[in-house]
Each structure stands twice: as structure tokens, then as C-alpha cells.
Structure 1
Amino acid sequence: MSETVRPTPQPGILDIAPYMPGKSGKPGSNAIKLSANESPLGASPKAIAAFAAAAEKLEIYPEGTSRLLREALGEVHGVNPDSIVCGNGSDDLLHLLAQVYLGEGDEAVMNRYGFSVYPIITRATGAQIIMVDERDYCADVDALLAAVTPRTKVVWLANPNNPTGTYLNADEVARLHAGLRPDILLVIDSAYAEYVTAADYSVGLDLVGAHQNVVMVRTFSKMGLAAARIGWMVGPDHVVDAINRIRGPFNVNLPAQLAGAAATRDVAFTQALCDFNARWRDWLTAELHSNAMRVIPSQANFVMVLFDTPEIAAAAFKTLVEAGYIVREIGASYGIANGLRISIGPEAAMQGVAKVLKAFGGAQ
């Protein structure tokens, strides 16, 4: 029998490891999911009401530019709505940025433990991803700049970073940008910006407003609307124009647009969520940090816990699952085999996780 002829993916596509989301419990189980950095307080009641109201308009195409959502974002964040592009989650916008600015023979630079989507979207364009070693699980500006070559077209920077929770302060991000050629696009992924409590942090809007080669990307997924899939980007006019030329014409559905606009304006709910997160993030860090476990200081809505060996980390994960808590293993996705990422969840869950891990640590 002759060999079957069939369509073939572009070179390199089948070499890409697919993104692995956080695990969930088995259907019917009472396991508490702490693996995906979701909101422990649910969604804004105003966003829920807006989403429900959209059910009366399901036969109508959504407005193609997400105008109502962009206007709400501009109002609350002090940004010209014309400088905003909305997407089906921030992943949608990151994919579009890669598609527009990377191609065969190009390079994109990122820190070693940066968001695992960056290598996927870079390699999908035929470009190469250059991973740069970090300094104690934090992006190293000097190392990132040293990795830049004539082929570099994009620098990906998650700030704060996933899965480590570490961040670069405003001065360091500005120093990184100052060291880049003007034809290199700096993508500041501020997915966890709402949760930052550090006084020296900047979401990146100052750089976007002052330069032609910086964009900032944000998401609603960590703020209670993960199911709605809403992301947004702020950039200079020429970047916004390029992205709008290739994005899907109705890439944000109407319920998501309305829920996103309502959530944006519900600043009281956002503040309550951030206050809750700061309290329990700091509490969990203090409870777990010991000689047996090292908790990397986090500015996000999760903490990364390091164990002495990958074997101990795997045993800790198994112990947590048996106790009903599903956290994120980060060996396969991020190469941190001795670590676990734990989302900040409800109060009872945080107390339960601390109790289980402290008992586990004492048994090692």
C-alpha cells in the first residue's frame, strides 16, 4: 500500500509543546482548584448582571471594535480608547503581536521562566525564541539586553511574572527599554497588575505613551472573568492599526464586552479582591517559608513554593491532591521541577494548604 498523502503543517509546528493549563478535579469531586490563578471571590456582581442582560441580544453581532469596553477601560485607566485593542483573552493579542512582528529568521527574547505561551506563539511564526537565564527567579535586565542580536524583533516581559510572581520595578523596565533598538517591540504583559502592592511598580503605560516600540497587555481572567475570555492592549497608533488589520472582526463576544465594561467600572470590587489577595498571599508566604520550603516573594495572586528536590515537590503535590487541593506542577511547563505554584484561594483553602504542607514538611 502506498504511503498516505495528507496536508502537512508548516515546518516546526509539530515541534511545539502545547500549552498545559492548570489541572481541575475529577467531575463530582470536592477538590479545590488552586492551579489556574482564578478569582477566589468570583466575579463582580455588576459584571454578572451585565453578562446576563446580554442574553436578550444573542441574535445580534457584537460591535466589532469593542467600543463600549474600550471606552470603559479608557475612562478608568486614563487611556485614549483609540489606543486600545481588545481580544479574546490576552493570549489572542499576544498571538496577534507575534504574527505581525515575527517571521522566519527572526528572534524573540524572554527570561527563562517567563510565561509558557511566549515560546509557542514565537515558534508558530517560524521565529526562534531566545531564553535568558534569570537572577534568583527574577528577570535579569543585563542578561536580556546581552541576548539581543540583529535578528531580535520582540522582547516578551511578563511583569509580574508567571509562574514565579517576581517583578521588575519601574526603573528596571525603563532601563530594559532604553537598551533596545527602536525597531524592537517591547511587550509588557501586565496580566497580574491589579494584584501588585509594591510601590515601585509600573504597569507600563508611561513607556507606551512616550515611545513607539512598547505595548502593554492586560487581562480580565485573573479578576473574575476567566470564562468570558477578555484581554486588552494599549499601544502606539501604528501597532494598533496593524493588529486591527488582522484580528478577528468580532473577536470579543457581546456578553464579554458588557461584562468587561461593568467589571472595569466596579472599582470597589476590584479593590476588595486585591485587598483579599494581599492579605492571604502574605499570610501563606509567612506560614510556609521555612528551611524545608522556600516561598519566592510574589506580587501576583499566587505563590511559588520551592522544595529541595523534584521528588519532594512531586510528593508534596500528591499529598495536597489527596487532601483535596489541586495546585500547579511547574516542571514540565516551566522547567522548575522542584516547585509548585499555588493560587491564592478562599480563606479556608489557604489555611488547609498551609496545614497540609507544614505537616508534610515536618515529615521530610
Structure 2
Amino acid sequence: MADRPTLKPWIEAIHAYVPGKSKAADGRPLVKLSANENPLGCSPKVIETLAGGHEPNLYPDPDATQLREAIGALHGIDPARIVCGTGSGECLHGAVQAFAGPGDEVLFSLYSFSLYPLLAHKVGAEVVLAEDADYAPDVDNMLAAVTGRTRVVLLDNPNNPIGTFLPRAEVERLHAGLPKDVLLVVDQAYAEFLPEGEDDGGMDLAARHDNVLVTRTFAKAYGIAGERVGWATGAPHLIDALNRLRGAFNVTASGQRAALAALSDQDFVAKSRDANAAARARFVDQIAALGNHGLRALPSEANFVLVVFEGDLAATTALDAIAEAGYAVRHLPRQGLPQALRVTVGTPEQMDAIAAVLRDLCGVSA
């Protein structure tokens, strides 16, 4: 008999989620370009709303009724087909927990959101990684990896940490190739950064099929990461499953109020999208100019750029130099990317500073 409670073996094998760094090894605070936060902050309407205060002794609306109605009005979705979570992470956890367990498989592309393995391991399911195509998710490879034990397929689109985007036709092809009893989760955490009018069709699939769930977050383009608000939409039985598993009173009163205010300011979202696109494009051009030195910026439709170091300059050397200059970016060896750095798109000045460090390391003058 054990002398203390023992963990389930699949829980003991979990490595806890590692957030982006904000301090140097010596404790110096760094400009945090490692967590994909919005450099513009959030809408002034959010600040005004939160400054108004609330009654912290009262529980929030357990069903986030007003927030679901506002999300539904913006996206043309029946609020009954929406569930809100403590970030989109809670919705993702619920989706995997509801439909996978020991003996089952959870499938996603080799380079995907670092939370995904934790989702599978938490329920004792096996992780299956589909081979990439130049780092990006590949529909043919994902479909080839499906087996009779596959229960959930996770697709982050745009992808994190790569930043690539699968267009509507490819997402539809992925869904069409899956057995009907396999849940496809389209994680659209970065969808608001897509060019206006661009859409992967996930919402349409979720509206028409019983095995598609779409998740979104207020942490990125809306800029309220600290309030931890996300949501999901899908068929009624999928929403029922997530409602059974989510925490009671999971979205705080301030989170609901902040998200409502954020939704009401779509001009801020557009401003965030446009500023991100401009700063990202300028940074990508600066990295392209260092191509002869082995640096490559992978295509990105998100608010970050993955820089791959394919020459003599090592990613770890660049990481240290960038930290010395006062910036934190994300090194991802645990995700199989020791040769890459993910750089959150900050202000133009911040991106120019990162590019200057890389030029210096390559011996290139401005």
C-alpha cells in the first residue's frame, strides 16, 4: 500500500504548461514579446467599463447570458449554440475530456499549440502527431494519421507557433475526410488578425455538422488576456457536453463585462489587425534581408512571426542577444523547434529593435 495518494500515470507524465518569459536569467524585466499579447492594449471602452466597478460579493451570471447574446449577434450564431469559458483553453479542455480517454487518440499537426498534448494527457489519451509540410499543418498528412482510435482532431488556424493559415477549402477537405464520430476542433484564437473577409469556414462547418466545434478567445486581438474569457460554438450536443464540464460561475463578472465592452468596439479590433499586419510585414521583410545568413521568417497570419535559424547563427545565441537588448521572445525546444524563435509582433519600434539585434549578429549594417 502506498504511503500517500498516487498520481494516475498519465497525469504524472505531464509537463506543466510553460508561459512566455518576461525576465532575463539575472532577473531583469524584459519587454515581453513571448506571449502574443496585444501591444495596443485593449479598447478604451474596456478600461472605462472595468473602472466602473462591480459587487465582488455576488456571483457572476453562470451562463454569461448577455455575453453569449452579444457574441451571437456579432457572428450570426444562436446564443444557445455558444458556451463561454475561462479562456478558450477551458473549452478546449472540455472538448477533449468529453470525447477522448484511455485507449483513444487525439490528433494534431506536429507543430501545434503547446496546450494540445496536455489536453490529451490529462484524460489518458494518446497523442498522435501528423507530419508537417515545411512546418505547417498538412491535410493529407493529418488524414493519413487517422485511425480507428482517433476521437478528436485539433486544428489551430492560424497555427501557433508557426503562424500559417489553412484556407476554407483545405479545412473543408479535412472535415470531409474524417469519420463522422471524430470531433474536429477548429481553434481560431488568432482569427481576428486575418485580412478582412478572410475566413477558414470553421463557423459554417460548426453550424451545419454535428462533429465540429470552433473556439475563440478575447486574449489576442481584443487585448483582455488578463480577464481570461473565451468561447466555443457547435451543435447543441457539443455545447451541452462543454456545459457539463466547465466550472460553475467560470467567467468572472469583470471578465463578462470586459468582453461585452470589447465586443462593442470593433474599430479597436480593426485597428489591432491593421497595426499588426503592417508591423509584421515590415519585420518579415527585415528577416528576408538576412536570408543569406540562414534566417527565414515563416509565413504568418497571426500576431507573431516564427524565425527559423538555418545557418551558422544559432537560435540560442540570438535568444541571449535579444534578452541582453531587453526583450523576451519565445524559444520552443520542447515543441521540437530548437532552431527557431517565435517573436510576438509588438510596436514598430520594438520589432525594429529585434531586427537590429539580428542584423548585428549577422554582421550586416542597417
Amino acid at match of 1:150: G
1:288 shift after superposition: 1.0
Partner of 2:30: 31
Mapped to 2, the partners of 1:313 and 1:146 lie a distance apart of 32
Amino acid at match of 1:87: G
Partner of 1:302: 304
Judged with a 3 Å threshold, the aligned counterparts in structure 2 of structure 1 residues 275 and 175 are, in CA distance, closer, same or farther, namely: same
Partner of 2:352: 351
Partner of 1:313: 315
Amino acid at match of 1:348: E
Give the ranges of 4+ consecutive aligned residues of structure 1 lying more than 3 Å apart after TM superposition. Answer: 26-30, 198-201
2:143 is equivalent to residue 145 of structure 1: yes
1:52 shift after superposition: 2.4
For the residue of structure 1 that corresponds to 2:220, the secondary structure is helix
Partner of 1:59: 57
2:150 is equivalent to residue 156 of structure 1: no
Q: Could you tell which deviates more after superposition, 353-362 or 150-159?
A: 353-362
For 1:22-67, what per-residue CA distance to the aligned partner results, in whole angstroms no more than 9, with x for missing partners?
A: 00126984521100000000011111222222x3321111000011
1:311 shift after superposition: 6.7
1:362 shift after superposition: 2.4
2:110 is equivalent to residue 108 of structure 1: no
Partner of 1:96: 94
For the residue of structure 2 that corresponds to 1:58, the secondary structure is coil
- Name the Cα RMSD after superposition: 1.7
For 1:216-253, what per-residue CA distance to the aligned partner results, in whole angstroms no more than 9, with x for missing partners?
A: 00011112111000110011101011111221110000
2:205 is equivalent to residue 207 of structure 1: yes
Amino acid at match of 1:294: R
Mapped to 1, the partners of 2:78 and 2:177 lie a distance apart of 27
For 1:91-111, what per-residue CA distance to the aligned partner results, in whole angstroms no more than 9, with x for missing partners?
A: 111111111111111111100
Amino acid at match of 1:214: V
Task: Give the TM-score normalised by structure 1.
Answer: 0.95
Mapped to 2, the partners of 1:198 and 1:275 lie a distance apart of 9
Task: Give the TM-score normalised by structure 2.
Answer: 0.95
Tell me if the contact between 2:313 and 2:362 (Cα under 8 Å) persists in the aligned partners. Answer: no
Partner of 1:81: 79
Mapped to 2, the partners of 1:95 and 1:172 lie a distance apart of 25
Tell me if the contact between 1:190 and 1:216 (Cα under 8 Å) persists in the aligned partners. Answer: yes
Mapped to 2, the partners of 1:61 and 1:122 lie a distance apart of 31
Partner of 1:42: 41
Identity %, equivalent residues? 44
For 1:120-155, what per-residue CA distance to the aligned partner results, in whole angstroms no more than 9, with x for missing partners?
A: 110110110100110011111111111111111100
2:352 is equivalent to residue 339 of structure 1: no
Tell me if the contact between 1:108 and 1:153 (Cα under 8 Å) persists in the aligned partners. Answer: yes
1:287 shift after superposition: 0.8
2:130 is equivalent to residue 132 of structure 1: yes
Mapped to 1, the partners of 2:78 and 2:273 lie a distance apart of 25
Amino acid at match of 1:355: A
1:279 shift after superposition: 0.3
Mapped to 2, the partners of 1:111 and 1:198 lie a distance apart of 26
Q: Which residues of structure 2 form unaligned runs of 5+?
A: none
Amino acid at match of 2:348: E
Mapped to 2, the partners of 1:72 and 1:28 lie a distance apart of 42
Q: Which residues of structure 1 form unaligned runs of 5+?
A: none
Mapped to 1, the partners of 2:301 and 2:315 lie a distance apart of 22
Amino acid at match of 2:211: N
Amino acid at match of 1:41: L
Kindly tell me the number of residue pairs found equivalent between the two proteins: 359
